[in-house]
Amino acid sequence: MLVDSFGRVATDLRVSLTDRCNLRCAYCMPPEGLDWLPKPELLTAEEIVRLVRLGVERLGITEVRYTGGEPLLRRELPEIVAHTSGLGAETSLTTNGIGLARLAGPLAEAGLHRVNVSLDTLDPEIFRRLAHRDRLPDVLAGLAAADAAGLAPVKVNAVLMRGINQHEAAPLLRYCLEHGYELRFIEQMPLDAQHGWKRQDMITAEEILAELGQEFKLVEDDPRERGSAPAELFLVDGGPARVGVIGAVTRPFCGACDRVRLTADGQVRNCLFATEESDLRGAMRGGASDDELVERWRAAVRTKRAGHGIDDPAFLQPARPMSAIGG
């Protein structure tokens, strides 16, 4: 098992397939984009499958989520999913939804269980302002295709930003209720490439709940059902529909964290905000055995800190932005 020094067991593996993205969301990267990782530095499909297999068969991983950048840009995605979905772990995908209308069916056939789709606004002009691309129709089409393909429950991730889309909490929830999607609001985190995050500009979980409470009756769902999930769940107008709020900054859930991350270039990160990484790609390409890779992985998780430390005056934002870490 992947156990840290505080007794937490990592069972949820987030695998970044690429750092590239076809949007330029303001809370993630600048409009001009970033310098992408050179292709030779990326894990090959075969290397990804090998590491996922080790995670599931040797290290107790029970959930594998493919992320990016934008994972749909990885051409081998259906092939990778087909090779890993039969290992016994729940297999999911976090995506911006662009291209999902075309790929939802093939991914479901390959064994993908469900998807999380980012949708921060229903207003085309605000979408262009936030993402610097005119692709809202593609995202909505991707959501519909995922639902039709049976990738349920289809979850929607939304980040609210002050002065831009903070007024859309209720409209987004209405939209998701109408379509049967499960909405999760996520506090903006200090993971942008520009390092422009300011705590006072962040829309907090408390503010989100207050805004929703003006239109909906929210009752906290049974907290015993939450487990290690990052979202606090609330029944909407008596249920059964629910909405989630992920207060990663103001309501941290580090004490129950069960996640470990593998970057697109083969680095193990034991926390989203870690400042150190463990290189599996170099070891693998240098001829490391499965046993050696497993021990490196275990050693990386053992050093996980108690919490992300955002409130610590000495906190340093990770050098990698979110797009190069994987959500």
Q: Which residue has the tokens 């290189």?
A: 279
For tokens 């600048």, the residue is 30
Q: Is the dihedral of CA 279, 23, 165, 170 positive or negative?
A: negative
Q: What pLDDT does residue 106 have?
A: 98
323, 36 Cβ separation under 8 angstroms: no
For 117-139, write each residue's pLDDT tens digit: 999 999 999 999 999 999 999 99
pLDDT value of position 324: 85
With a cut of 70, say whether residue 144 has pLDDT above it.
yes
Give yes or no for residue 231 having a pLDDT over 70: yes
Check if the beta carbon of residue 268 is closer than 8 Å to that of residue 325: no
- What angle separates helix 77-84 from helix 100-110, to the nearest 10 degrees? 20
Torsion on CA atoms 129, 133, 135, 140, rounded to nearest 10: -40
pLDDT tens digits along 182-201: 999 999 988 888 888 888 88
pLDDT at 316 over 90: no
Residue 227, pLDDT above cutoff 70: no
Q: Any idea which of 45-59, 148-162, 171-185, 298-312 has the lowest mean pLDDT?
A: 298-312
Average pLDDT of the residues of the chain: 94
91-95, 137-141, 219-223, 245-249: range with lowest mean pLDDT: 219-223
pLDDT over 90 (residue 151):
yes
Total residues belonging to the chain:
327
Q: What is the average per-residue pLDDT within 194-217?
A: 91
pLDDT for 312 equals 77
Residue 281 has pLDDT above 90, yes or no: yes
- Alpha carbon 95 to its chain centroid, in Å, reads 8
**How far apart are the C-alpha atoms of 300 and 280, rounded to whole Å?**
10
Domains of the chain: 2-321 (3.20.20.70)
Q: Indicate if the pLDDT at residue 241 is higher than 70.
A: yes
- pLDDT, greater one: 274 or 243: 243
